[in-house]
Structures are given as structure tokens and as C-alpha cells.
A = this chain, B = another copy of it.
Amino acid sequence: MPSKPTPITMDAVYAAPGYLFRRMQQIAVALFVEECRAFDLTPVQYAALVAIHTHPGIDATRLSAVIAFDRSTLGSVIERLETKKLIDRKPSPEDKRVKLLYLTRAGAAILRDIMPSVEKAQVRMLQPLKPADRKVLLALLTQLVDLNNESSRVPLRAEDALEHMGRTG
């Protein structure tokens, strides 16, 4: 027999995981921006800086794999970081297509200084839950993101994305 049609109600929207993830993401960004206002860095820019810090001399394509951000989007992010003089872009001697990314002194400094604020924002996101529940949510969310990795447009390719990079960096 045919299954009954889903009722069209706002409650169905409010209870949909997709809606909840969207809301939570917006809340997360709002808290991050609020805590880090003094540094004028967005969550994306912050993640890019961390990745360049831990992988000096990475190129844009590999950076996009390491933080799972869209390659096209990353272009403008990198441009903004360069304008703010937080990173340097140097042409690769081995591959004329590639531009290698490095933190400037200012970039390394802002990254060091922003950490406590970033921490505060991350704590605030889960603060309303009981400590035990925070752990459960975080564990399940980590699992879910990992298991859904291939469903995203830009799957995360953490360290293995760097296998083919030069050994000099």
C-alpha cells in the first residue's frame, strides 16, 4: 500500500536535521565572529591560517583538501589573507602553475593571539548542554561527518593529500 503523504508543517521543518545543521552553523559563526571581533578573522580564514601554519608551502588545491573547503571559494579567501598581509604567495620553482603559501610574521602572530578567543567561541557553542551531553554530541557529530565525507562536494583529504608534495616544505 502507498505510504501516507508527509504533512507539510513548520514542525517538520524545525525537526529536520538539515534545518538544524543550518541553524547551528549560523549560531557557530555568530559566536566565532563575536569572540574574535578584535582580530577581524572569519572562521574560514582562521582554518586556512592554521592549515598554512601546519603545512608551510602548501598550494591552494591541497589546502582545499586539507580543510575541505571549495577550491573556487578558497581563491578569494587566500586573496583576502594576502591583502591583510597575513600570508605570502610564492611561485613554485618546480611547477609554474603552482603558488606556494606561507604565513607572514603577522600571520603567525595573529594566529597565536587569536587562539584563546577561538577556544572561547567553541566552548560557548556547546555550553548550554550538560557536560556529558556535550561529549556525546561531539562524538556523534565527528562520526557523522567522517562517515558522510564522500557525500560532501569537497571531501576531506587530511594528511594523505600531502603525499605528493615536495619533501622540502
Contacts of A112 in B (CB 8 A): 5, 8
How often does this chain occur in the complex, in copies?
2
Binds B, one of A80-88, A92-100, A140-148: A140-148
Q: A51: which B residues are within 8 A, CB to CB?
A: 10, 13
Residues of A in contact (CB 8 Å), total: 66
With both beta carbons as reference points, the residue of chain B lying nearest to A50 in the complex is identified as B13
Q: Chain B's nearest CB lies how many Å from the CB of A27?
A: 5
Within 8 A of B (CB), among A44-59: 47, 50-51, 53-54
**A116 interfacial contact with B, CB 8 Å:** yes
**Sample of 4 more A-B contacts, CB < 8 Å, known A6-B115, A22-B25, A133-B140:** A14-B142, A17-B125, A22-B28, A30-B153
